[in-house]
Amino acid sequence: MLHAARRLPLSGKIGLAIVLFWLMVALIGPFIAPYTPGAFVSEEVFAGSSGKFWFGSDFLGRDVLSRLLVGARFTVGLSVLAATLACATGTGLALTAAVGPRWVDELLSRAMDTMISIPGKVFALVMVAAFGSSLMLLTLIVAITYVPGNFRIARSLAVGLARLDYVEVARARGEGRLHLALVEMLPNMIRPLFADIGLRFVFIVLLLSGLSFLGLGLQPPDADLGSLVRENVSGLGEGALAVLVPALAIASLTVSVNLLIDAATQGKAR
Amino acid sequence: MSGSASAQRPTWIAPLRLIAARIGAALLTLLLVSMVIFAISGLLPGDAAQEALGQGATAGQIAALRHEMGLDQPGPVRYVRWLGGIVKGDPGTSIVANQPVSKIISERLPNTLRLAALTSMVAVPLAFLIGVFSAIARGRRLDRALNVLTLSMVALPEFLVATLAVLLFAVKLRWLPSIALVPQEPTLGEFLRAYTMPVISLAVIVVAQMARMIRAAIIAELDRPYVEMARLKGVRPGRLIFRHVLPNAIGPIVNAMALSLSYLFGGAIIVETIFSYPGLASLMVNAVTSRDMPLLQACAMIFCATYLLLVLIADTVAILANPQLRKG
Amino acid sequence: MTTPSHVDVRDLSVTVRRPDGTLLRIVDSVSFSIPRGEVLALIGESGSGKTTIALSLMGYARGGAVISGQIRVGNASLDGVGPASLAAQRGNRITYVAQSAAAAFNPSRRIIDQVIEPALIHRTAAAPAARERAIGLFRALALPTPETIGERYPHELSGGQLQRLMAAMALITKPDVVIFDEPTTALDVTTQVEVLQAFRRVFREEGATGVYVSHDLAVVAQMADHILVLNGGKVREQNSAATLIAEPQDDYTRMLMSAAQPVVQAITPPAPKAATPLLEIDGIFAGYGPIDREGRPANPVLSAVSLSIGKGAALGVIGESGSGKSTVARVVAGLLTPTAGTVSLDGEVLAPTLAERTREQLRRVQIVFQNADVALNPAHSVGEILARPLRFYHGKTGADARRRVNELLDLTRLPSSVIDRRCGELSGGQKQRVNLARALAAEPDIILCDEVTSALDTVVRGAILDLLGDLRRDLGLAYLFISHDIATVKALCDEIVVFYKGTRVEHGTSDAYAAPPYHPYTELLITSVPELRPGWLADYPYQPVAPVANVTQSSDICRFLQRCPRSRQGLCDIAAPPLRTLENGSRILCHLDTSELAH
């Protein structure tokens, strides 16, 4: 692991460091927050950076840093969960399609082609309008939104592998479908799949915070990084830190994941 | 003589058949999409009549309205009626605005089309240049720098780009208004002032996406044996890219463009909202907030149809550009 | 114009940087010269550096390799300072014919535009003149309809045609030297002869100087005046073609020559055949793609194929690519469901699909594929790969299985140290041995070998063939041995079946293939294999046959008719060929009898 990390190009190392930082924040953020995130601690709203409030105060005089530390946990946590869910479902269906009877493949592929023709944001909006956006629903909605994308990648990998001679040999030996999918195919899909999970994670972070920014995502009193941008958007005219910092936080997370995936996959391609 | 005649045999049938098949497939997908959208938004939740009348309505009033809206019919019947309406250009009445959905949409659609067209005009040439140059310079410093740049740009949240644009142009420089209100008969200056920031915000994301896909498409070709052969024939880099590689990469390149441009419709939601731009995407957000299902469904269908149309156009171009498909 | 055009190479070395940063010399101090109008062959196995040397003559190196040494071609030179001077000659004074023309032609441009492109970019001729010269070359290369063939796209032409068109492209600028990089390796043997004949003729007419890269000594013997034998980037021997083949000096050259003519230690034919053969295939029809209402697949491959193999016997199946020989193995293994016909094992009819066969039936028939690179799962270690069938068929686990895995490695002459390695770390020959060991783990009665030696270098191929022979003798295995190479099949098998376009055209004992009479297709196949003597090609009697006109495309008519040099009008184009038995015991599908086919 450490050896592989050392061989990453500079952009990859930076990406890895920032990703680790955010995972850390998601784990321990609430415990190191200097103030209670909901408490009104500053006299001044939209205060600038100070020794007391590193990232200033928000539109109600709350500490931006504390709210950021708690909000990051929602953004990172929900996104990791949703990305894992999306990729597990997508890959599972893809393997089913690859080793199952032809009609299963055709049915699944047709269904996924339909889903992929509905742009992600549009699909999520329709779902939110229909079902609302409780924490669990929201996670499910963004996960479902990105199942078809993962399915498409995983299926093309799996179908390519299914044609290879070593899978044919296993079939000729009389192996069952489960063995073919899990023992012969899945281990050879892991690397590209990890890259895809990372990519889905980025999309999901952007979608989740986008929904929250529109007021359709996480509902108060819970707030993820997108909600923080939304609630402080009135401070934009003054160039308030309270609106810039959470937006930059999201960007640093997504950009660093992207840099890390790119560096890691390129290293393997050579 | 006979040879030239055989070369000119009617070669348009094979591609035409292929394209017709693609059109059929796209229509089928659109039909399935409409089922999904209707199933999610029209069948399961809530009661539109209840919502329209509010909490104070009596059970009788609600039942009457339900009957009037056709909500007491079984799902498939409502679906067929709804689909029929959409095909005829009448997707129902907005519950909130109490106007025909078609009227609301026809006011907003031109705005969205205009924004998409303007952004495309900026984004497509720029993305093409970046994609081609980084592919030519593959592995060199220029390519690595462009790679990190586009990689970062695709991962930026749209509201960050828009926020930074507002901060720079409206707050610090005070060149532009932070809200894109387009007057009825704008002068060129007003037009630019209104559109600059939304176009920049959208273009940042779209250019990066498109440039990356174009680069990948060209690089996939550069690794093929015919490129080495062309080099061994003494073909110079410029001719290599434009005469040898690009004709083979047209399919993936137009596909990349279609995918990115489809983003300008359904994906512009946040940018339209931030700049209070009166387009379809922000209309859809309003429909979600107010749970205005007929309006929401119509907007969703337009976005999906646009996506399918763009992909279909890309497929058609790819078929016509490929002699193997073109000649059947 | 000033100096006589020829090639002179002194101390050529090519160095690559390995992933860990160290340098590796893949070509080491190679020197040679070629007189004007002659052809030098570079011969060696994969990794010998032959293609690298050829490309470096153009100042071109793949993957960032560094070329050093002195190269002079005509009056242009590359002196180690930089490749620029020679690069300018690329495609003009020095030209290249690639191994796979099908991949090396640009799929979206017309052939003629690509063929005359070197003349246009190097300004050696104007477009009309270049076009005229191209058509002349097409004609000299015996291409059909030379005036219009250039108007086509690559996908509309066959591999043999494309290879000749690429030669035309290489000759269009009247170069000082043409480099042929394994130009016939990807072709079927019967196509190879036609292409070699065309190359030879056009070389004579043009008086061109050439470098011919190949792994096949017999091909090289036809094309080259001088031969340079390479191994591991070093020159082992160089001499005139005739001398080198008659009196090879170097041990490595001798090894290459003996490996090119495989001989497997004679095996006593299996004991008198039992009443029921071990494996019997009867009236198989099979193909790919959706099946229509009459039960015929969209791409029919096999029609009415019957074979039988006794216990411990070895049956060879030969044919060109697309003849359906691999499909037979897939049907027997149960991977492809036939649309008609049966496969029986020991008289017991096997179910057409895998799912309906018992595990015991599956165990007794094992299949081994050609390309060990994709036949072994890269995610598993050698030990895991071999342990799986032990557990699956025999329920062996733990120490029991480990012992057996070691036995299997021993049996296939692999060191026990490979047990924890992944296949990516093994050599080609080792992979093929693991591939065989996996089949042996099932303790089968018969192994279906699908081109198991075709992807291997000559010397390794010989070793694998020896191993197959030994295994058969020691374990009493039967083989269905599929190959495109008749020499390989003759060396290993007791009986041979010849396939053409999905039908069995001949079936006889191996000995019967030593001399005529054969089926006309078998005859073409056997005579097309180049012999290891210079002048064989010059004596080669056959010319491509003009297609018979106006034949009804009936499925009954002899499928070889269009290419048959012995076809009779009014007989072969009307009636279906009968199955007849020749005097040497071979059964053939042909209208002609022993006396007509004997010479």
pLDDT tens digits, one per residue of C509-534: 888 888 888 898 998 888 888 888 88
Q: Which of B288, B306, B309, B310 to mutate to test the interface with A (most CBs of A within 10 A)?
A: B288
Whether chain C has a CB inside 8 Å of the CB on B8: the answer is: no
Contact A115 B36 (CB under 8 A): yes
C153, B236: Cβ pair inside 8 Å? no
Give residue-wise pLDDT tens across range C274-332: 668 899 999 999 988 888 877 788 888 898 899 999 888 999 999 888 888 899 999 99
pLDDT for residue C120 is more than 50: yes
Nearest chain C residue to B320 by CA: give it. C108
pLDDT of residue B8: 47
Cα separation of C168 and C134, whole Å? 7
Of A117, A121, A206, the CB nearest to B157: A206
pLDDT of B56: 67
- Determine the pLDDT at residue C72: 83
> Residues with Cβ < 8 Å from C496, sequence gap 6 or more?
C315, C316, C317, C318, C486, C489, C490, C506, C507, C508, C509, C510, C513
Q: What are phi and psi of C480, to 5 degrees?
A: -105, 105
Q: Indicate whether C241 pLDDT > 80.
A: yes
pLDDT confidence of B289, banded at 50, 70, 90?
A: confident
- Binary contact (C169, B244; C-beta < 8 A): no
How many interchain CB pairs under 8 A, B with C?
82
| Mean pLDDT (whole number) for C398-426 | 90
Q: Is residue B70 part of a domain?
A: no
pLDDT tens column, C464-487: 888 898 888 888 899 999 998 888
Give the minimum alpha-carbon distance from A189 to chain C in angstroms, rounded to a whole number: 10
CB contact under 8 A, A255 and B156: yes
What confidence tens digit (pLDDT) does each residue in C351-368 have? 998 989 999 999 999 999
The residue among C145, C197, C210 whose CA lies nearest residue C171 is C210
d(CA A102, CA A104): 5
User: What parts of chain A have a pLDDT lower than 70?
Assistant: 1-2, 239, 267-270
Note the helical H segments in C476-517.
Answer: 486-492
**How many other CB atoms are found less than 10 A from the CB of residue C61?**
18
Q: Which of A81-95, B76-90, C290-304, C369-383 has the highest mean pLDDT?
A: A81-95
pLDDT of residue B6: 41
Q: What is the mean pLDDT of residues C358-386?
A: 91
Give the amino acid at C241.
A
Model pTM score: 0.86
Tell me what ipTM this predicted complex has.
0.84
Rounded Cα gap, residues C572 and C561, in angstroms: 7
| Residue B210: domain span | 11-35+107-326
* Per-residue pLDDT at B101 exceeds 60: yes
Which tokens in the block code for residue C284?
């198989």
| Cβ pair B4:C148 closer than 8 A | yes
Predicted pLDDT of residue A270: 35
In angstroms, rounded to a whole number, what is the distance separating the alpha carbons of residues A173 and A137? 44
CA-based nearest residue in chain C for residue A186: C379
Taking an 8 Å cut-off on Cβ atoms, the answer to whether C335 and A166 are in contact is no
pLDDT higher than 80, residue B266: no
Q: For residues A34 and A52, give the distance between their C-alpha atoms in angstroms, rounded to a whole number.
A: 9
Element spanning B60, H or E: helix B59-69
The mean-pLDDT minimum among A32-41, A138-147, C43-52, C560-569 falls in: A32-41
pLDDT at B47: 60
CB-based contact, A138 to chain B, within 8 Å: no
DSSP bridge partners of C177? C94, C209
**Alpha-carbon distance B214 to B128, whole Å?**
7
Alpha-carbon distance values, A13 to A194, C65, C590 (Å) = 17, 29, 71
The DSSP string of A108-168 is HHHHHHHHHTS-HHHHHHHHHHHH---HHHHHHHHHHHTHHHHHHHHHHHHHHHHTSHHHH
Quick check: bond before A30 cis, omega within 30?
no
Helix, strand and coil content of chain C, in percent to the nearest 5, comes to 35, 25, 40
| Nearest C-alpha in B relative to C157 | B324
Per-residue pLDDT for C206 more than 60?
Answer: yes
The percentage of residues in chain C with a pLDDT greater than 70, rounded to a whole number, is 93
> Searching chain B, which residue's CA lies closest to the CA of residue C97?
B229
Nearest to C367 among A169, A184, A188 (CB): A169
In chain A, which residue's Cα lies nearest the Cα of C364? Answer: A173
Question: Which amino acid, residue B318?
Answer: A
Residue in A110, A214, A250 nearest the CB of B160: A250
Q: Tens digits of per-residue pLDDT, B118-177? A: 999 999 999 999 999 999 888 888 988 998 899 888 888 888 888 888 888 877 777 776
Whether B53 maps to a domain, the answer reads no
A188 touching C (Cβ < 8 Å): yes
Identify the residue among C52, C56, C108 best suited for mutation to test binding to B, counting B beta carbons within 10 A and taking the highest: C108
Whose tokens are 């005089």? That residue is A61
Phi, psi values for residue B36, rounded to 5°: -60, -50
User: How far is A133 from A254, CA to CA, in rounded Å?
Assistant: 23
The arrangement of secondary structure in A76-269, i.e. its CATH architecture, is Orthogonal Bundle (1.10)
Question: Do residues B76 and B83 make contact, with C-beta atoms less than 8 angstroms apart?
Answer: no
Q: Measured between beta carbons, which residues in chain A are less than 8 angstroms from residue C335?
A: 168, 171-172
- Six-digit token pair at A172? 């000729």
What is the distance in angstroms between the Cα of A129 and the nearest Cα belonging to chain B?
Answer: 5
Burial readout C502-536 (b: 16 or more C-beta within 10 A, e: otherwise):
bbbbbbbebebbeebbbbbbbbbbbbbebebebeb
CB C208 within 8 A of CB C176: no
Does the residue B308 lie in any domain?
Answer: yes
Chain A residue with minimum CA distance to B30? A114
Q: Determine whether the interchain pair C392/A174 forms a contact, defined as Cβ–Cβ distance below 8 Å.
A: yes
Interchain contact, A165 vs C442, CB within 8 Å: no
- Give the chains touching A; criterion: ≥3 Cβ pairs < 8 Å: B, C
Helix (H) or strand (E) holding C212: strand C209-214
**Which among B41, B163, B266 has CB closest to A130?**
B41
Residue with tokens 């200056």: B189
* Rounded Cα gap, residues B42 and B48, in angstroms: 9
In a domain, B99, yes or no: no
Task: Indicate whether C535 pLDDT > 90.
Answer: no
The residue of chain B with its CA nearest to that of C123 is B234
CB–CB of B229 and C96 under 8 A? yes
Tell me if B159 is assigned to some domain: yes
pLDDT in tens, C255-270: 888 877 766 666 665 5
- The tens digit of pLDDT for each residue in C442-469 reads 999 999 999 888 878 877 888 888 889 8
Mean pLDDT of chain C: 86
Backbone angles phi, psi at A46, to 5 degrees: 50, 40
In contact, A90 and A150? CB cutoff 8 Å = yes
Residue A50: per-residue pLDDT: 75
What kind and span of H or E run contains A255?
A: helix A241-269
Q: Which residue has the higher pLDDT, C64 or B8?
A: C64
Under an 8 A CB cutoff, do C377 and A184 touch? yes
Closest chain A CA to residue B292: A129
Chain A CB contacts of B270 under 8 Å are 210, 213-214
Residue in chain A nearest B273 by alpha carbon: A214
Distance from C-alpha of C568 to C-alpha of C597, rounded to nearest angstrom: 13
**Count of CB atoms within 10 A of residue B124's CB?**
18
Nearest to C505 by CA among C576, C431, C450, C448: C576
β-strand partners of B244: none
* Within a domain: B71: no
Min distance A107 CA to chain B CA atoms (Å): 12
Domain range list for chain A: 76-269
Burial per residue of C541-571, b for 16 or more beta-carbon CB atoms within 10 angstroms, e otherwise: eeebeeeeeeeeeeeebbbbbebbebbeeee
**Of residues A119, A216, A255, nearest to B307 (C-beta):** A119
What is the C-alpha separation between C117 and C109, in angstroms, rounded?
A: 11
Residue C422 falls in which region: left (phi positive, over 0), alpha (psi -120 to 50) or beta: beta
A210, A243, A259: residue with CB nearest B158: A210
Q: Which two tokens stand for residue B51?
A: 């919502």
Residue B152's CB: how many other CB atoms inside 10 A?
19
8 Å CB contact of B232 and C96: yes
CB contact under 8 A, B239 and C121: yes
Write the CA distances from B272 to B13, B179, B181, C472, integer angstroms. Answer: 44, 10, 11, 76
- pLDDT tops 90 at residue C390: yes
pLDDT of residue B215: 92
CA distance C121 to B313: 35
Domain count, chain B: 1
Per-residue pLDDT tens digits for B45-70: 456 666 666 666 677 777 777 776 66
User: Left (φ > 0), alpha (ψ -120 to 50) or beta: where does B139 sit?
Assistant: left
For residue C82, name the pLDDT band (cuts at 50, 70, 90): low
Residue B55 resides in a domain: no
CATH number for the domain harbouring residue B266: 1.10.3720.10
| pLDDT for the residue A170 | 93
Angle CA A162–A166–A167, to nearest 5: 35
| Sequence-ordered list of residues with C-beta below 8 angstroms from that of C548, at least 6 positions apart, any chain | C561, C562, C567, C569, C573
| Count of CB pairs separated by less than 8 Å, A with C | 47
**Any chain C CB within 8 A of the CB of A165?**
yes
Contact of A33 with A24, CB cutoff 8 Å: no
- A100–chain C Cβ distance below 8 A for any pair: no
Residue of C nearest to A188 (CA): C379
Q: Quick check: B211 pLDDT over 90?
A: yes
Contacts of B45 in chain A (CB under 8 A): 130-131
List b or e across B199-217, with b for residues whose CB sees 16 or more CB atoms inside 10 angstroms. bbbbbbbbbbbbbbbbbbb
What pLDDT does C550 receive? 58
Note whether A103 contacts B: Cβ–Cβ < 8 A: no
d(CA B166, CA B198): 10
Residue C321 tokens read as 């690519």
Chains with 3 or more CB pairs under 8 A to chain C: A, B
- C279 forms bridges with which residues in the sheet? C309, C345
Residue C503: name the closest of C559, C587, C575, C582 by CA: C559
Q: Which residue has the higher pLDDT, B304 or A264?
A: B304
Q: Cβ separation of B233 and C91 shorter than 8 Å?
A: yes
Q: Does C260 touch chain B (CB under 8 A)?
A: no
- pLDDT of C136-167, one tens digit each? 999 988 888 899 999 999 988 988 899 999 99
- Contacts of residue C398, defined as CB under 8 A and 6 or more positions apart, other chains included, come to none
Question: Does residue C558 contact residue C542 with C-beta atoms inside 8 Å?
Answer: no
What does the pLDDT look like over C64-80, one tens digit per residue? Answer: 788 888 888 877 776 65
CB contact under 8 A, B163 and A244: yes
Nearest chain B alpha carbon to C59: B232
Distance (Å, rounded) from C-alpha C39 to C-alpha C204?
11
Are A248 and B178 in contact (CB < 8 Å)? no
Nearest CA-CA distance, residue B328 and chain C, Å: 10
